Structure 1
């Protein structure tokens, strides 16, 4: 057990201690064992070490050395514990559990490679024990987790931490906090045998005025010793109004109790009323503690070793019975959450997300912090928060601020005795905001020169659009948001539109800068083939699939209303020259007729039929002569083509067609309707609502 189990896993059996002290002569080992059994490890370890200087029996010496190692382990002096476990494993016929605890002590110091060796030794000595396999995997995972990229930043919460043990911070009213500490100011004159420090009390710390960074000196939550007694209190939770507090108290105010129980106390004005023990804390030898109230006040999560659990300490839940104004029978959260180890310090972030600490699930050291979501009333597999939130030490009692999002990140606090701590210390954590950018340069496709003053349009989820102009060096840049799909393209007068490039931030866990260069093809007086224009044999009626291709030409003409084009139609060499000429003229006119039907003024187009006069690949023929007779059907198809050519760039739209042009530009955000650098207010509002819906954690019920 860990030092901070003192509010749950330890009973102060002073009567038994007095009885032992009053007994007659007992051996040195018996005295040391008695101190050990009473969790007086500081006393026991010195007794055992004296015994080792005189003991000759190898078996006894191995047992005592193991006890010394255990004492240092319980006292969280991991380096000393490691030293003594190494001595044990070298002794003949030593308990193989020493290999396991050696690995654990190495893990606590984050010596994971050495821990792997120790756990493999334990598996060799005790094959088939799942505890060894789990420990080995946790050490291997820890090595990987420390290498992984993370958004978390962890810092000591210095305004609270002292030379003593400070842990289990909880939010209080008006920016204040409540926490548990065994600092010198705690009530009670006796020292706690395990830590040789004062017993724990509940403290609060409040900000100086409206400051969010400066705080007054921590003080006891009550000066009348209604809440705090001479024995251990701590680990609290409040209702939403901060008028009702649930907390853990061990051994009763008299010190004669043999367990820890959960009390509730209500504030009347500025004074706390009388504490009452919760109704389900009925067994005098069962541990109850670490309460956490759900945001809606309907569920109370807590820790207990009551019957029906899965191992050591489990997390249980009681539901408030409104009619009886009491808490119902506790229900174990089940084997997904609870293990054969200890699950402790639950924190109900929302009604459907629970944070907690465990040494039973694979972790990096002692207690690790996990979270689980309740989906369809079933808890999901717990997720380890990994490094740097978790460490080789004990990491526990996490709380998380409301209002976090994927983009902004989450903030909170937790307790740890990791390397660098002065015992149990409180740490704050936050996540660096997710920041995504999309940038690039617009180039001339032919010359590779940069193109300034081009319009670059960003389309978000096929719905919203924003646009910027490229700078003097052809560059552009957009800020992106998480969990969105984007496309980007460039446009400029006298150029064909660029290819559309795509970017997605969906599922990305870390910030990223995307680069997408865009290329604009300049208008040149050359033929551009319209791929995909097909006609039935000897027909000039457009097929449906051809209309899709012509729609793209229609869009080019509407985006560039100043151009005049020539539509050219070509045939292969088969059939007579006269026939092919007439067929090509009809096919070219079919194209211009379709575009005119779509709304293009007829004087913006010239339909030219070239027949077989411009064979592209040498497949010429006339009658039964010519190389074209030996060409394949694929080669003939290359000659049956439709092209367009820009022949003027000074067209002025007639009044009767301006309404159609204006409608198109409005719908496609062109010309006077081009997207702004930022979205219009209403569009931005809809976009942010969509973004928040994707990012927010489940709302409280």
Structure 2
């Protein structure tokens, strides 16, 4: 073999080995990047994917890198990469959806609609896409009217900082800044593990923050937190870093009590430590309701908002807040205000992009449809962590609109506030009317309430240029709704002189008794809701079960009767009838109580729902709708013995289809479970067990 041929073969071998080495190096980059990506260490994974894309145009690597950029809020880099991906002939429906969501987040709404529609062409079965397109069309209706001023507070750092809870004279907040307890960096965010901090407010300024408690802050994530109204109890989120059987690191809720000097050792909340996450707690002022988020089975989407009620020294089983609040997206950071409004962040309701802040209130035994707070609270980025004091003149929220998460303080804009004054008089003799109840409404939301003084005078602080309505109510007079439309923003509103016409009011009388014992039920609450004006009056039964309330007999009412330990009873479209004394029976319940659905019938060996079975299930759905705190287990039976295996399959199908029917009526999935009970000649085909009630 001549020399030139030997050199030729050597070169071929060298180039071949070089190619193998290069391929191995590229494969190594992808493997390392994928390992970090699967572990949700997105910040760390980006460097491996970036190096890989210097040498190849692998669209799968591009997709993962774009997702990493989105997760760590690098929108500019994500935009460039996704623009490249959707231009590729290999682009799919998910690429279009991800790009459209990013375009919406960076406020390019018209282009976002184009790619939402491209996605819809490929995935017409996705019913959520119409809502996303609608959100792009409606976004211009929610413009900043400058009713509130906002500013970032001084405790913010270059890392993530977000509000958590009011505490003492300041704020407890969560931060990813460098700290003493967690010296390592979280690969998912590129920041230090989250800890809780406290900053006292002095005048208009916050003092330098200090770690909230070394007993609670560990080397892993802590926060957000909330406190009972007396600040004796804390509930907070912790991620201990350990993996469950599915390889996921779950959030858990912890609670501790303050013993006058220090905090006791934190303990797992009653339902934490399972194969799901629980976090972002908020407790009501009376300490009886704890709201939080979870991804437990039986929800509507990613994370839903749940509530537990305090029973003695324990807590009830978590109840999903339902489809009015929760969507197929993520609901997060609930905050239950002193006036009963629930504020929360969501990327599933119609909004500007990312997480937006919404509010809802529990009325007539259900949550109202959430209202988007609009600018300046919501932006095209993530906005969340809303906190507000009772007087509503100052509060806090968090947002990454300027890059990393920061805390913002908001105030009512004094330049936009004016005083609305008025006087109530009787239309007959023009005399002043005292103790007239007035409710100030804004967009069907109750903003404030007051009563007229002895001279018939009242006043409200309102925003200039904004439309309101006033519900005006006093026994013996016609209830009125007064619509207020300002003449201009510059001129002060004229005094409202409201004349009230007399009308004959009557005493609505009744008696509440136990359905089985016929004994009086004391201290049952009777909520009487005027259907026309949605105004409420409330009274309670006495030791004899009797109650009396003045009502306008010309109106129609919904009446809700509630008593702990009894099923809630609702009387819809009630019209007063003279000389009729209402006797209302309440049915007692207890945990693990069984209810036979005697009207249920099936053909032999069948699980098909017949008309009378559907009627029984409708009654059960109605019971659950007016008792949102109750969950049930539907047990399927058969009265014909076809063998153990066949009996089990038949009964399971009966219970499963009945459960699906109940859920189709708007009952939250986690409130309805089912079980195959098997053969029993003496039982109804469907038996309902109250598996939990509070």
- Pair 1:412-2:412 in alignment: no
Counterpart in the other structure of 1:381: 369
Structure 1 residues 196 and 695: alpha-carbon distance in aligned structure 2, compared to 1, 3 A threshold: farther
In 2, Cα distance between equivalents of 1:62 and 1:257: 27
Counterpart in the other structure of 1:328: 316
Which of 110, 113, 126 matches 2:110? 113
Contact 1:178-1:202 within 8 A present in 2 as well: yes
Deviation, structure 1 residue 253: 9.2
Q: Secondary structure at the match of 1:513?
A: coil
Counterpart in the other structure of 1:182: 176
Contact 1:112-1:143 within 8 A present in 2 as well: no
Question: For residues 655-678 of structure 1, what are the alpha-carbon distances to aligned partners after superposition, in whole Å with 9 as ceiling and x for unaligned?
Answer: xxxxxxxxxxxxxxxxxxxxxxxx
Structure 1 residues 249 and 302: alpha-carbon distance in aligned structure 2, compared to 1, 3 A threshold: same
Which of 133, 140, 148 matches 1:152? 148
Q: Secondary structure at the match of 1:134?
A: helix
Which of 293, 301, 320 matches 1:303? 293
Structure 1 residues 253 and 220: alpha-carbon distance in aligned structure 2, compared to 1, 3 A threshold: farther
Contact 1:303-1:316 within 8 A present in 2 as well: yes
Counterpart in the other structure of 2:88: 91
Q: CA RMSD in A?
A: 3.6
Which of 252, 258, 265 matches 1:274? 265
Structure 1 residues 270 and 460: alpha-carbon distance in aligned structure 2, compared to 1, 3 A threshold: same
Contact 1:355-1:369 within 8 A present in 2 as well: yes
Structure 1 residues 479 and 505: alpha-carbon distance in aligned structure 2, compared to 1, 3 A threshold: farther
Deviation, structure 1 residue 40: 2.0
Q: Secondary structure at the match of 1:429?
A: strand
Deviation, structure 1 residue 237: 0.6
Deviation, structure 1 residue 504: 6.9
Structure 1 residues 47 and 298: alpha-carbon distance in aligned structure 2, compared to 1, 3 A threshold: same
Which of 253, 259, 276 matches 1:286? 276
Deviation, structure 1 residue 172: 0.5
Question: For residues 162-195 of structure 1, what are the alpha-carbon distances to aligned partners after superposition, in whole Å with 9 as ceiling and x for unaligned?
Answer: 111101231111x221101111125222110112
Deviation, structure 1 residue 508: 6.3
Of residues 387-396 and 177-186 in structure 1, the stretch that sits farther from structure 2 once superposed is: 177-186
Of residues 345-354 and 82-91 in structure 1, the stretch that sits farther from structure 2 once superposed is: 345-354
Question: For residues 131-157 of structure 1, what are the alpha-carbon distances to aligned partners after superposition, in whole Å with 9 as ceiling and x for unaligned?
Answer: 3222212222223313x6352222212
In 1, Cα distance between equivalents of 2:102 and 2:96: 10
Counterpart in the other structure of 1:250: 239
Contact 1:35-1:44 within 8 A present in 2 as well: yes
Contact 1:436-1:512 within 8 A present in 2 as well: no
Counterpart in the other structure of 2:335: 347
Equivalent pairs counted in the alignment come to 433
- Pair 1:198-2:192 in alignment: yes
Deviation, structure 1 residue 479: 9.4
In 2, Cα distance between equivalents of 1:91 and 1:257: 33
- Pair 1:81-2:70 in alignment: no
Contact 2:237-2:278 within 8 A present in 1 as well: yes
Q: Secondary structure at the match of 1:372?
A: strand
Counterpart in the other structure of 2:666: none
Structure 1 residues 509 and 168: alpha-carbon distance in aligned structure 2, compared to 1, 3 A threshold: farther
Question: For residues 566-604 of structure 1, what are the alpha-carbon distances to aligned partners after superposition, in whole Å with 9 as ceiling and x for unaligned?
Answer: xxxxxxxxxxxxxxxxxxxxxxxxxxxxxxxxxxxxxxx
Contact 1:352-1:375 within 8 A present in 2 as well: no
Structure 1 residues 436 and 228: alpha-carbon distance in aligned structure 2, compared to 1, 3 A threshold: closer
Which of 216, 225, 236 matches 2:207? 216
Contact 2:150-2:376 within 8 A present in 1 as well: yes
Contact 1:436-1:513 within 8 A present in 2 as well: no
Contact 1:103-1:115 within 8 A present in 2 as well: yes
Deviation, structure 1 residue 218: 0.2
Structure 1 residues 43 and 215: alpha-carbon distance in aligned structure 2, compared to 1, 3 A threshold: closer
Contact 2:243-2:249 within 8 A present in 1 as well: no
Counterpart in the other structure of 1:235: 224
Which structure has more RCO (C-alpha within 8 Å, separation ≥ 6)?
1
In 1, Cα distance between equivalents of 2:56 and 2:248: 38
Deviation, structure 1 residue 196: 1.7
Q: Flag the structure with higher helix content.
A: 1
Structure 1 residues 316 and 509: alpha-carbon distance in aligned structure 2, compared to 1, 3 A threshold: farther
- Pair 1:396-2:393 in alignment: no
Compute the TM-score of the two structures, normalised by the length of structure 2.
0.57
Deviation, structure 1 residue 113: 2.6
Q: Flag the structure with higher strand content.
A: 2
Counterpart in the other structure of 1:167: 162
Deviation, structure 1 residue 366: 0.5
- Pair 1:41-2:30 in alignment: no
In 2, Cα distance between equivalents of 1:130 and 1:226: 47
Q: Secondary structure at the match of 1:230?
A: coil
In 1, Cα distance between equivalents of 2:111 and 2:259: 56
Unaligned runs of 5+ in 1: 1-23, 405-409, 439-456, 466-477, 486-502, 518-693
Contact 2:163-2:171 within 8 A present in 1 as well: no
In 2, Cα distance between equivalents of 1:338 and 1:351: 21
Question: For residues 187-216 of structure 1, what are the alpha-carbon distances to aligned partners after superposition, in whole Å with 9 as ceiling and x for unaligned?
Answer: 222110112211011100113xxx322332
Counterpart in the other structure of 2:344: 356
In 2, Cα distance between equivalents of 1:296 and 1:480: 27
Alignment of 1:123-162 (within 5 A): 123-146=120-143, 149-157=145-153, 159-162=154-157
Deviation, structure 1 residue 364: 0.5
In 2, Cα distance between equivalents of 1:484 and 1:257: 50
In 2, Cα distance between equivalents of 1:166 and 1:300: 24
In 2, Cα distance between equivalents of 1:94 and 1:253: 37
Deviation, structure 1 residue 114: 2.5
In 2, Cα distance between equivalents of 1:110 and 1:199: 31
In 2, Cα distance between equivalents of 1:243 and 1:253: 29
Q: Secondary structure at the match of 1:206?
A: strand
In 1, Cα distance between equivalents of 2:355 and 2:333: 10
Q: Secondary structure at the match of 1:308?
A: coil
- Pair 1:425-2:420 in alignment: no
Contact 2:44-2:190 within 8 A present in 1 as well: no
